[in-house]
Amino acid sequence: MKQIIYLFLILLSCSLMPISTEKVNASEKNRYYFEKKGTAIWEVPVKEKVIAITFDDGPNVEYTPQVLDLLKQYNAKATFFLIGEHVQLHPELVQREIDEGHEVANHTYNHARLKNLNEKEIKEQIKKTHDAIVEAVNVEPTLFRPPYGYYSERSINVVHELGYLTVMWSWHQDTFDWKNPGVQKIVSKVLSATRKGDIVLFHDHGGNRRQTIEALKKILPALTNKGYEFVTVSQLLQIKAGVKIPSF
């Protein structure tokens, strides 16, 4: 899997996605700088009609099983960005995610604010979660998402040094489900602007996620009927890199 990600990063650095005509000033270190450098992604535009849905902060004993049940119903694959201490509490849920063909990724050990940590502390957060996931399911994650969406050149470089790719989400696909804005608002947010290669942000922990569950019941069939297939973030990277992957 790491070889596939590295192949994608080489391709990405050679031909940056045509998502903006804005010129990038390296001193600004904005999104497009990191995407061109190949150390972070927000989305992975592809020709295929695929989309990556992601879930942060789990696993959660109440909501993660409900999410998995829905994904299974629609043959959808997803990427779960896991909190290390939650992995240690519920390794059986992480095992189920793996058994059902989903991807697990790193989201720090206790949802730490990276801007408040030094480099050593950031590495400890990532390594501790990495070890928890390996111990739970014998799978080494290669993707990392920073809590609260915070990133900086320092944090992205530290993550990259550890062999991880920082994965954010499409700017137009932040569902804000953690705010419980209402089921229809979550549904409209996703369906109104879906594009090939989007990375959509959901949460399966962090409070009452009932609205997320109800929204998924509408989103999954709606996008399926539109011809979309749901893949993991790494599968998106494989598709972009031109690597043939099994049928979804």
C-alpha distance across the termini of the chain, in Å:
17
Active site residue 102: no
- H or E element that contains 128: helix 119-137
Contact predicate 162/129, CB 8 Å: no
**Structure tokens that stand for 65 in this block:** 């099983």
Contact predicate 107/129, CB 8 Å: yes
Helix, strand, coil: what percent of the chain each, to 5?
Answer: 50, 10, 40
Residues counted in the chain: 248
Residue of 56, 177, 198, 204 with catalytic role: 56
3-state secondary structure of 245: coil
Cα-to-chain-centroid distance, residue 38: 16
Residue of 57, 203, 204, 205 with catalytic role: 203
Active site residue 203: yes
Beta strands in 16-133 (DSSP E): 40-41, 50-56, 78-82, 103-106
Contact predicate 206/52, CB 8 Å: no
Q: Nearest to residue 126, comparing CAs of 138, 104, 141?
A: 141
Determine phi and psi for 219, rounding to 5 degrees.
Answer: -70, -45
Cα-to-chain-centroid distance, residue 54: 5
Residues noted as catalytic: 56, 203
